[in-house]
Amino acid sequence: MKYTPKAFMITALTNMHVGAGGANYGVVDNLVQRDPVTDMPVIHASSLKGALREFFDNYLNKGPDFIDHVFGPDLTRGAKDPGIGKYKFFQADLLALPVRSNNAPYYLATAPCLIDNINEKARSLGLDEKFIKGNYDFDADIVTQHGNTILEDYQAQRAPQWDIWEKFGNEPVAVYKNHKFKQRGKELPVIARNKLENGQSVNLWYEEIVPRKSKFIFFVNIPDNDPYMADFIKEMTSHTVQIGANATIGYGYVNIEKI
């Protein structure tokens, strides 16, 4: 069967916690998923596929023909025959995190290592060699297309002949050197969570989150001339999708757009 890769961008509308699971004995109790090689925040393919399955099955009430074809039969939900879905989902890789600024509400911070990682995956799937185009050959630790920009605790330099990447639209972008962004990627916000019983606190824990406005890119391999492809793309990009835990307190609501 021949497949064609389709690329999508996730933009977090609210804070998101896609949990890593397992025991953690540090200060933060619940950590987000991270790539084992880069240590950057990601959304594992299984979590992404599960969230999309939940969206199409329970939110849109798509029938079993659609669900089984795209995601594979689920024996726990009455399917009689085991099998795998026709669509192949890949991990969502981080493209940008928001950082506070003195001359805009936020900048989208990215780095060459993030862009190269996405370009490499796109290339391996047969897409353009430079899937995300941009000039990021610079000497300063952080550059933006604007002058006199302070990003949290850092003074950014203006990048001459700046390329405004179409993937970011009109949002302001800051490009960090890899070592600077690695530090930024490790310092995600942490929120204190509290469980109450009869108005009394019985449990306090700390949860790492990916902040709203963060952007990820993921790929889906879809069979050529697939009868459900147009519907899959249209529905997924026309609604708000929830990914990860804590939906009832507004976590994990995202927009997905085809790119």
**pLDDT tens digits for the chain (259 residues)?**
899 999 999 999 999 999 977 555 556 768 999 999 999 999 999 999 999 999 999 999 999 999 999 999 876 655 556 678 999 999 999 999 999 999 899 999 999 999 999 999 999 999 876 788 877 778 889 999 888 899 998 899 988 666 767 778 788 999 999 999 999 999 999 988 876 666 555 677 889 999 999 999 999 999 999 999 999 999 999 999 999 999 999 999 999 999 9
- Distances in whole angstroms, Cα of residue 247 to Cα of each of 29, 71, 187, 259: 19, 22, 23, 26
CATH number, domain 1-18+45-90+215-259: 3.30.70
